[in-house]
């Protein structure tokens, strides 16, 4: 047993995909070797991924897999053997195909296969050699790489066919290393033959090529001789350490901006990182910092430095791929590159402020939103109408600001800054609204109306912003459902799932005094006759998203199903209902009452509409009288607690009904022959069923 190393040396890989490519290459290759018996479940795989290589180091790999016993089904006994027990021609032909003859017939095993007895041939299969198994594993790993876009290129040597041969891979491959301990494993891939040589850093490698003598020396030799930190995680950690150290040298409590995606992308761009401190002219700090931060991150892959209060400073950090003794030329070059970017941002900001947001609203009528739903101008009118209706329902005092914010919310789409940086939509609208003299509530609403943009994002900061954000998301949901433009599979171009989650989060987390059906009904008139009424489908869609979100928050499936089965319209009540159900589920009476509730529901389903009415005169059996008396004692209090919003107390009050409910089902025949008795008992159960299911459908808690 020796350790194995496999490396593909390629041209620069797509940085945003590198981490996943490295993980997939190592995972698939190691699992393939395990399946073939060449590696064990105790083998440890270490993935390596740098801008120009994918590699994996796998411990405890055998030169050949162990032999294994296999049993092959041949055919039914009735087909393989004649009446005298002799092999039929069909059986002999099958055995010949497996390399056996008639002498193997006595060794065949019999076993039931379904309803018929079948013949099975047991044999010993020789284990795969490492060359065979690794060849298969490499081919499988390459085939299963999550390549964002395949590239086709030509090879002129080592081809299966003479002349030029096309190869398809993520980037042109130039080297293959396959070492089992110190031995080269003679495999091939992408027109390359395996060896022990690879390449180091383009400019700083100590030797070229880098010779890997042993699989276990790979990372060390590549670092020492090739000036490359091969492992993605190690390189990332080194960048984090250097960023923090550089910020500490700058002093004054500055810190690099936190951005995991940027950190991953930069890690995928460098082979041996070197963090340098650069700066730009302070005059650019007059531009909104979001603009400067975005252009530095998106275009240059720089790490802006923020002060202790979170404000952008005039200094930033660069992760260089070279480490010259005098870094002044590298620093100066990066400072020269960033300056035009910042100057463009300043120009856009100055130009945009020459026109008010109000003057830009008309231009939205020239921007197409959807061919069935019109322009952004028409959409703005719809959002404004919905915002007015929502504000009136929540608090009429919000109406004026909500209408003003909704009208201006999309105006920054036609500004130069948002045209250059679409990610700043809403944010720039807030800045321009303040410049135009709008109130702070309106400016915040314009800035926040896209929130929450993603899972875990902050909610809008004030009530005006909540109204406009709700109106914007409702307009999208109602409109898209109304024209039948629904998500399919993983395709959701208009982010309807995210919008639905945003609506539920605002209603739940801000406990807004709005009902789901009501706000959807509020949005419908804004579309006139452009859409169909798809309220039912949209409501189901919203509850599905809410159900998934609640389960991710740690609520049990039964708890969520019990609460959402009632389709509560005031979503702000849902957390209280869930806590009440959880507390009720912990009571010793809970299982029996949940089972009884399920039984009552099943009984009522089999009958036509029954009134929840009970005539005390028609109560005959002691058990039904006792249940009725207990209900008279318990239910008024439970009802009052439910009405006051104390759902936990309301459900716990019902625990007192366990004994009389159990006795009722033990001693009373519900479906009595006498019609008036039967209807009275059904009415009693109907009254109990209604009372028990005000907070949640307790039958969902029954196992």
* Measured distance CA(496)–CA(478) in Å, rounded: 10
Domain 574-701, CATH: 1.10.730
Higher pLDDT, 97 or 369: 369
User: Region 224-246: what's the mean pLDDT?
Assistant: 97
User: Region 586-614: what's the mean pLDDT?
Assistant: 85
Segments making up each domain of the chain, as ranges: 2-64+129-224, 68-125, 232-352, 358-554, 574-701
* Measured distance CA(269)–CA(321) in Å, rounded: 8
pLDDT at 430: 96
Q: Give the pLDDT band of residue 521 (cuts 50, 70, 90).
A: very high
**Listed range (200-214, 354-368, 682-696) with the worst mean pLDDT:** 682-696
Task: Return the ∠ at Cα 117 (arms to 116 and 122), rounded to 5°.
Answer: 140
Instruction: Answer whether residue 159 shows pLDDT above 80.
Output: no
User: Region 666-692: what's the mean pLDDT?
Assistant: 88
Instruction: Answer whether residue 161 shows pLDDT above 70.
Output: no
* Measured distance CA(337)–CA(388) in Å, rounded: 47
pLDDT at 157: 62
* Measured distance CA(338)–CA(295) in Å, rounded: 9
Instruction: Answer whether residue 254 shows pLDDT above 70.
Output: yes
pLDDT at 529: 86
pLDDT at 565: 92
pLDDT at 156: 65
Higher pLDDT, 247 or 148: 247
Q: What strands lie across the sheet with 255-256, from one edge to the other?
A: 255-256, 303-306, 312-320, 274-279
pLDDT more than 70, % of the chain: 99
**Listed range (122-126, 163-167, 364-368, 499-503) with the worst mean pLDDT:** 163-167
Pairing of strands 68-76, 116-125: antiparallel
Q: What is the pLDDT of residues 511-520, one digit of tens each?
A: 999 999 999 9
User: How many other β-carbons are positioned within 10 Å of the β-carbon of residue 611?
Assistant: 10
Residue with tokens 């020396």: 217
* Measured distance CA(240)–CA(222) in Å, rounded: 21
* Measured distance CA(156)–CA(174) in Å, rounded: 12
What is residue 267's three-state secondary structure?
Answer: helix
Phi, psi of 41 (to 5 degrees): -70, -15
Instruction: Answer whether residue 4 shows pLDDT above 70.
Output: yes
User: Region 234-238: what's the mean pLDDT?
Assistant: 97
User: How many other β-carbons are positioned within 10 Å of the β-carbon of residue 67?
Assistant: 11
Domain with residues 358-554, CATH architecture: Orthogonal Bundle (1.10)
pLDDT more than 90, % of the chain: 73
Neighbour-count burial for 271-287, b at 16+ CB within 10 Å, e otherwise = bbbbbbbbebeeebbeb
pLDDT at 306: 97
* 358 contacts: CB under 8 Å, gap ≥ 6: 408, 411, 436
| No. of helices (H) and no. of strands (E), the chain | 26, 20
pLDDT at 126: 81
Return the structure tokens found at 75: 């055919």
* Average pLDDT value for the chain: 92
Q: Give the pLDDT band of residue 673 (cuts 50, 70, 90).
A: confident
The answer to whether domain 358-554 and domain 574-701 are alike in fold is no
* Measured distance CA(610)–CA(284) in Å, rounded: 75
pLDDT at 454: 87
* Measured distance CA(614)–CA(245) in Å, rounded: 78
User: Region 422-446: what's the mean pLDDT?
Assistant: 96
Q: Give the pLDDT band of residue 405 (cuts 50, 70, 90).
A: very high
Contact 622, 630 (CB under 8 A): no
* Measured distance CA(268)–CA(321) in Å, rounded: 11
User: Region 370-393: what's the mean pLDDT?
Assistant: 95
Neighbour-count burial for 358-391, b at 16+ CB within 10 Å, e otherwise = eebbeebeeeebbeebbebbbbbbbbbbbbbbbb
Q: Considering only CA atoms, which of 543, 544, 529, 523 is closest in space to residue 478? A: 523
**Listed range (1-10, 90-99, 395-404, 558-567) with the worst mean pLDDT:** 90-99
Instruction: Answer whether residue 202 shows pLDDT above 90.
Output: yes
C-alpha gyration radius of the chain: 35
Instruction: Answer whether residue 160 shows pLDDT above 60.
Output: no
């Amino acid at each position: 047993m020796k350790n194995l190393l496999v490396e593909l040396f390629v041209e620069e890989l797509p940085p945003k995909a590198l981490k996943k490519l490295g993980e997939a290459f190592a995972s698939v290759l190691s699992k393939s070797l395990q399946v073939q018996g060449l590696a064990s479940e105790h083998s440890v795989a270490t993935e390596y991924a740098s801008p120009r290589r994918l590699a994996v180091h796998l411990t405890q790999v055998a030169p050949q897999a162990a032999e294994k016993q296999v049993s092959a089904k041949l055919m039914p006994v009735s087909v393989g053997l004649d009446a005298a027990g002799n092999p039929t021609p069909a059986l002999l032909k099958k055995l010949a195909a497996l390399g056996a003859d008639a002498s193997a017939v006595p060794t065949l095993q019999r076993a039931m296969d379904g309803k018929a007895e079948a013949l099975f041939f047991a044999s010993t299969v020789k284990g795969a050699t490492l060359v065979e198994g690794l060849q298969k594993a490499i081919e499988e790993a390459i085939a299963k790489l999550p390549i964002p876009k395949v590239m086709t290129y030509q090879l002129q040597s080592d081809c299966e066919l003479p002349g030029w041969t096309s190869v398809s891979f993520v980037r042109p491959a130039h080297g293959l290393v396959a070492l089992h301990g110190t031995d080269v494993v003679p495999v091939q891939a992408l027109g390359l033959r395996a060896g022990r040589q690879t390449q180091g850093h383009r400019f700083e490698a100590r030797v070229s090529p880098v010779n890997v003598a042993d699989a276990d020396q790979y990372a060390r030799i590549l670092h020492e001789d090739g000036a490359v930190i091969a492992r993605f995680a190690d390189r990332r950690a080194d960048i984090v350490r250097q960023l923090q150290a550089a910020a500490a040298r700058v002093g004054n409590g500055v810190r690099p901006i936190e951005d995991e995606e940027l950190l991953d992308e930069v890690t995928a761009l460098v082979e041996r990182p070197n963090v340098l401190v650069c700066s730009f002219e302070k005059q650019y700090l007059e531009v909104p910092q979001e603009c400067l931060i975005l252009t530095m991150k998106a275009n240059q892959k720089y790490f802006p430095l923020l002060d202790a209060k979170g404000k952008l400073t005039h200094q930033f950090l660069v992760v260089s791929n070279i480490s010259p003794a005098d870094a002044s030329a590298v620093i100066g070059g990066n400072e020269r590159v960033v300056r035009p970017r910042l100057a463009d941002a300043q120009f856009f900001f100055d130009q945009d402020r020459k026109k008010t947001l109000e003057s830009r609203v008309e231009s939205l009528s020239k921007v197409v939103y959807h061919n069935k739903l019109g322009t952004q101008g028409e959409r703005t009118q719809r959002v404004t109408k919905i915002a007015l209706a929502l504000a009136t329902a929540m608090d009429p005092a919000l109406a004026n600001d909500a209408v003003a914010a909704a009208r201006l919310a999309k105006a920054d789409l036609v500004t130069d800054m948002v045209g250059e940086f679409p990610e700043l939509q809403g944010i720039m609208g807030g800045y321009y609204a303040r410049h135009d003299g709008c109130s702070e509530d309106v400016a915040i609403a314009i800035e926040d109306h896209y929130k929450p943009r993603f899972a875990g994002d902050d909610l809008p900061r004030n009530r005006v912003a909540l109204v406009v954000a709700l109106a914007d998301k409702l307009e999208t949901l109602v409109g898209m459902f109304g024209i039948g433009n629904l998500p399919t599979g993983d395709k959701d171009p208009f982010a309807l799932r995210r919008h639905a989650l945003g609506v539920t989060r605002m209603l739940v987390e801000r406990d807004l005094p709005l009902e789901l059906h009501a706000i959807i009904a509020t949005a419908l008139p804004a579309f006139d006759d452009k859409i169909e009424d798809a309220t039912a489908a949209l409501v189901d869609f919203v509850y599905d998203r809410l159900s998934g979100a609640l389960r991710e928050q740690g609520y049990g499936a039964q708890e969520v199903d019990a609460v959402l089965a009632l389709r509560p319209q005031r979503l702000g009540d849902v957390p209280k209902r869930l806590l009440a159900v959880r507390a009720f589920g912990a009571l010793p009476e809970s299982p029996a009452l949940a089972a009884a509730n399920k039984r009552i529901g099943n009984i009522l389903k089999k009958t036509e509409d029954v009134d929840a009415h009970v005539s005390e005169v028609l109560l005959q059996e002691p058990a039904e009288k006792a249940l009725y008396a207990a209900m008279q004692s318990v239910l008024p209090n439970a009802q009052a607690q439910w009405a006051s919003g104390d759902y936990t107390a309301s459900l716990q009050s019902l625990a007192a009904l366990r004994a009389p409910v159990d006795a009722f089902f033990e001693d009373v025949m519900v479906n009595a022959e006498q019609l008036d008795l039967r209807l009275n008992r059904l009415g009693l159960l109907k009254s109990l069923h209604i009372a028990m299911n005000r907070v949640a459908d307790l039958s969902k808690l029954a196992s």
